[in-house]
Amino acid sequence: MTVVAVLGGPGAPGATSSALALLLSWPLRPGRRVLLVECDPDGGAVLAGALEGRVEAVYGLRNLAVADRRGLLAETLWEQLLDVSPQGTGERLLLPGLTDPAQAPGLAYTWEPLVEALHALEPQGYDVLLDLGRSGANGPMAVLARRADVVAATVRTTLRGLSAARPRIAALREDLDTHGTGSDGLGLLLVTEGPYPESEVSRQFRLPVLGALAHAPRTARVLSDGGDTTDRRFIRSELMRTARTAADRIQDLAVARRRRLGGPQPQQPQPPQLQPQLQQQPQPQPQLPPQVQVQAPQPVQPVPPFAAGPVNGQPYQQPQPQPQQQPYPPQQFQPQQQPPQQPGPVGGGQFTGEWPVRAEAPQISYAAPAPYIAPPAVPQPPVPAPFPGQVGPEGADGEEVWRAR
């Protein structure tokens, strides 16, 4: 698994849009997924931007603080994820960020357990992108950058952008060397807006360039404010092509760095194989009678570790076979003769001519179906909306959005 921290800076260099471009262009081998976590302490921007407010702010990072205090961080993490895959395949997921910057202090003790939970996703084949915003590498959140495999600092190639990024990157380099595993995983993610070339910026900052994203405001507006991500012009745009190149460079740097640190290498998940049997002589086993013969246990099928958003309804249960009932032997019906009932004394021993009121069985009418008795209502968050551009009940709206712009 590769953990990549995308860092911004003053002047809105486009860290969130760059992280979304990496999310949508991240190369995925069969069986792998990628997850974007909005860790910006100033608040998330994807719900109101790329998702265009179609998903209510009931999911997100703020729900993990209470879950961490209850010891349910790993379980609650799966309930907060949204599927932002353009085809709705669940391969590209999003954990929305904070809705209010005032919620950031409540997560001071949650950042480190969150990093541990994200690193624990490696056996399931997840790559994780962390959007740290402009101030996410300072204070209690510094552990996110220190524990990441690669830290990509987003910088615009303008004089103002390079001047503002120089002191911040120098402080980040020192922090990674002092408290982290080294600054060899630090690189630049350039937005080629200014006249300065890639080689000159790399020489001045003494850092490798992980990618040079094209400065395309019209295409970037789809990532920042919403639009059709399934349109061919967006998929084949220069911005997305350069984002795919940056994703390949980032993965190569992560593999080289893990090789140096001696950590587990990101590998393609292999299908489960049978374990080779030991070369031993077979031992004779006692044979049991057929009526008490023990059957070998069936292998347990793995359960998917998550679902994109909460899953409504009860989980599927395998129906248990019902034992066959033996038919009753035919019996001859013999009516029993009942003695005639005599009316009892009513009202002081005298018969008044009225029989006692008896509760009769309710008459069932088969003309209309019986009313459905609903189970007790359990409050459930709304079903997450698909990523803009998916085909819904009204059809694809991406073409209209693109033509409007």
The domain spans of the chain are 3-268+382-404
**Quick one: pLDDT at residue 181?**
87
Alpha helix positions (H), 226-349: 232-235, 238-261
Q: Which amino acid is at 320?
A: Q
- Strands laid side by side in the 3-7 sheet: 82-83, 92-95, 33-38, 126-133, 3-7, 150-156, 186-192, 209-214
How many other β-carbons are positioned within 10 Å of the β-carbon of residue 328?
6
Tokens of residue 182, six digits: 């080294």
Residue type at 58?
V
Determine contact, residues 193/159, Cβ cutoff 8 Å: no
Lowest-confidence region among 140-149, 233-242, 335-344: 335-344
**Interval 95-112: pLDDT, tens:** 999 999 999 999 999 999
Angle at 234 between CA 229 and CA 236, to 5 degrees: 130
pLDDT at 135: 87
Q: How far is CA 217 from CA 11, 45, 238, 246, in A?
A: 15, 17, 11, 18
Sequence letter at residue 278: L
- 5: tokens are 């921290």
Question: Beta 92-95 vs 82-83: how paired, if at all?
Answer: antiparallel
Q: How far apart are CA 222 and CA 51, in angstroms?
A: 10
How far apart are alpha carbons 179 and 295 in whole angstroms? Answer: 56
Quickly tell me which residue has 């059809």 as its tokens: 395
Please check the confidence at residue 279 and state whether its pLDDT lies above 60: no
Task: Give the pair of three-digit tokens for residue 211.
Answer: 């990618």
Asked whether the whole model's pTM tops 0.75, one would answer no
Q: Which are the contacts of 250, defined by CB distance < 8 A and separation ≥ 6?
A: 2, 4, 22, 150, 152, 187, 210, 211
CATH topology of domain 3-268+382-404: Rossmann fold (3.40.50)
What was the pLDDT predicted at 379?
Answer: 52
Look up residue 395 and give its two tokens.
């059809």
Mean pLDDT value across the chain = 77
User: With the CA atoms of 30, 269, 252 and 222 taken in that order, what torsion angle do they form, in degrees rounded to the nearest 10?
Assistant: 30
Dump pLDDT digits (tens) for 333-369: 455 555 555 544 444 444 444 544 444 544 544 444 5
305 pLDDT band, cuts 50/70/90, is very low
Q: Is the pLDDT of residue 225 over 80?
A: yes
Q: What is the pLDDT of residue 131?
A: 96
H or E element in which residue 200 lies = helix 198-205
Write the DSSP symbol of residue 97: -
Cα-trace Rg, the chain? 32
Q: Residue 50: which of 224, 218, 217, 221 has the closest Cα?
A: 224
- Strand pairing report for 3-7 and 126-133: parallel
pLDDT of 285 higher than 80: no
Eight-class DSSP state of 56 = -
- 3 state DSSP class of 190: strand
